[in-house]
Amino acid sequence: MRILVTGASGLLGLNLALEASQEHEVFGSVNEHVIQTTKFTVFQSDLTRPGAFKELMVRCRPEWVINCAALANLDACEANPALARKLNSELPEKMAKVVAKGGARLVHISTDAVFDGKRGDYTEKDPPNPQSVYAETKLIGEQAVLSSDPQAIVARVNLFGWSLSGKRSLAEWFLNNLSSGKTMMGFTDVFFCPLLATDLARVLLEMLAVEARGLFHVVSSECTSKYDFGTRLAKLFNYDQTLIEPTLVSNAGLSAVRSTNLTLNSEKLTSTISRVIPDISDGLEQFYAQYQRGYPHYIRQMKTSYLGSGE
């Protein structure tokens, strides 16, 4: 299959493009972080430029587009809501219209953060209640995709893994602090179900294979607190876990509101792809195994230039 991954320099997009390239012909679009790899064809394109996505479609002629491009940083969304709307709401709608018209299929990546986190174990039928600019713009994006292209897949995810910058994922943030002996907060009241990026990539590819459509919760089969996640990482990598201070998120002084119980129910996914989704222990073991075989270094050396104005 010919697959276009937008946001291929991002945490999910890069891991996904690499995973998909083992079996498929992959094209990856990047914006400010230009990468070089022999595994897939890289295009640089600012997708907020009018006509940019259509041009990309003409060049790649994909059967599937997996949209991982986003403004995915909560605080950046609060600081620049106009850009958040462009990338998280308007771009996905435009993509869905172009993809549907051209006869291709779209997978759009969304987030567990569309819920208010008051209850947890949310199914696809539960009403979202976004609490931040990020969550609100992502929710508008997923709704626009499904109404413009009913064949599309919208996947609400949460993930961790190795990134181009070495600091994009929560797991890397814990490890960077732990390895330099710094103390850090670990939220004891924020619950999530993170899936390793490469496992998430495999699940998404299986969803393409069974031609799934509609809204899905694509997360780990296990959920935990951010504090527990950090201490499990510390143990696995043999760092001092007491550097992680158990903290309530309300005491952390963060600018964007964090929903607390973002655990998602993924039963619809499990029955669609007919297999059990890896749990957090599986994911962490794989994450450690990737570290041992030099995967983080392999990923980081793909970065060739940075076209932005500051990191």
Ligand X SMILES: NC(=O)c1ccc[n+]([C@@H]2O[C@H](COP(=O)([O-])OP(=O)(O)OC[C@H]3O[C@@H](n4cnc5c(N)ncnc54)[C@H](OP(=O)(O)O)[C@@H]3O)[C@@H](O)[C@H]2O)c1
Instruction: Please report, to the nearest 10 degrees, the dihedral formed by the alpha carbons of residues 44, 158, 114, 166 taken in order.
Output: -50
Check binding of 261 to ligand X (CB under 6 A). Answer: no
In the complex with ligand X, the residue whose CB is nearer, 103 or 310, is 310
Q: Which 11-40 residues touch ligand X, going by CB under 6 A?
A: 11-13, 30-33
CB burial string 247-257: b at 16+ within 10 A, e below: bebeeeeeebb
In the complex with ligand X, the residue whose CB is nearer, 7 or 117, is 7
Residue of 109, 154, 243, 264 that binds ligand X (CB under 6 A): 109
From the list 104-112, 210-218, 265-273, 292-300, the region that binds ligand X by CB under 6 A is: 104-112
Q: DSSP code of 276? A: P
Residues whose CB falls within 8 Å of the CB of residue 126, separated by 6 or more in sequence, listed in order = 115
User: Could you give the CA distance from residue 311 to residue 309 in angstroms, rounded to a whole number?
Assistant: 7
From the list 108-116, 125-133, 177-185, 222-230, the region that binds ligand X by CB under 6 A is: 108-116
CB of 6 to ligand X, least distance (A): 6
Tokens linked to 58: 């003409």
Check binding of 96 to ligand X (CB under 6 A). Answer: no
CB of 288 to ligand X, least distance (A): 19
In the complex with ligand X, the residue whose CB is nearer, 172 or 234, is 172
User: Could you give the CA distance from residue 239 to residue 232 in angstroms, rounded to a whole number?
Assistant: 10
Binding mask 143-182 toward ligand X (x if CB under 6 A, else -) reads --------------xxx--------x--------------
Return the closest-CA partner of residue 131 out of 267, 249, 229.
Answer: 249
Amino acid at the residue 79: A
Q: Which residue has the tokens 């960077």?
A: 176
The number of residues that bind ligand X (CB under 6 A) is: 26
> What's the distance, CA 77 to chain centroid?
16
Check binding of 69 to ligand X (CB under 6 A). Answer: yes
> What's the distance, CA 215 to chain centroid?
15
CB of 9 to ligand X, least distance (A): 4
CB 145 within 8 Å of CB 156: no
From the list 46-54, 183-191, 252-260, 274-282, the region that binds ligand X by CB under 6 A is: 46-54
For the chain, helix, strand, coil in percent to 5 are 40, 20, 40
CB of 308 to ligand X, least distance (A): 6
Residues forming contacts to ligand X in the complex (CB under 6 A) are 7, 9-13, 30-33, 46-48, 68-70, 72, 87, 109, 111-112, 138, 157-159, 168
